[in-house]
């Protein structure tokens, strides 16, 4: 993981400390379930229900939770220099929050544009950091 991404994830998750390590798995699981429910409601309202798309989304969510679980086990097995599972869990909760907000917006729930815009900007910054090997950058 490059330094920029590590710094970004630390800055995003630093203000939030999980009360116990079990929440690192439980919280993303709850958010994933909420995203599934909000996606189903959105599809139902808009008449775009597609079982194939729903299955793919469910498989992706299982993969996300499995990734957090594997990071958690890895951190238990070796001494991690930072909370890897917490960073991954925080990232997943952020992405699921964006998806939930988009689903609610497409369902007709008034979601202010600045919420989805800020969440998307944060997600884009994280994704840009994954592809940028230019070294450390200042994050405000």
User: Is residue 80 a contact partner of residue 101, using CB atoms and an 8 Å limit?
Assistant: no
Evaluate whether residue 52 is within a structural domain: yes
pLDDT(35) > 90: yes
Write the burial class of residue 17 (CB in 10 Å: 0-12 exposed, 13-18 middle, 19+ buried): exposed
| pTM, to two decimals | 0.69
Question: Which domain covers residue 62, as residue numbers?
Answer: 3-9+21-131
pLDDT(140) > 50: no
Nearest to 106 by CA among 3, 6, 35: 35
Question: How many separate domains does the chain show?
Answer: 1
Per-residue pLDDT, 14: 65
């Amino acid at each position: 993981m490059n330094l920029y991404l590590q710094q970004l994830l630390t800055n995003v998750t630093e203000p939030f400390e999980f009360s116990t390590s079990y929440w690192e798995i439980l919280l993303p699981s709850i958010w994933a379930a909420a995203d599934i429910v909000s996606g189903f409601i959105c599809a139902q309202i808009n008449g775009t229900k597609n079982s194939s798309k729903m299955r793919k989304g469910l498989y992706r969510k299982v993969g996300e939770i499995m990734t957090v679980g594997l990071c958690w086990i890895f951190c238990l097995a070796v001494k991690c220099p930072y909370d890897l599972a917490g960073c991954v869990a925080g990232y997943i909760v952020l992405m699921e929050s964006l998806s939930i907000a988009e689903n609610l917006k497409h369902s007709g729930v008034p979601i202010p544009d600045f919420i989805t815009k800020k969440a998307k900007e944060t997600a884009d910054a994280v994704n840009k950091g994954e592809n940028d090997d230019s070294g450390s950058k200042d994050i405000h």
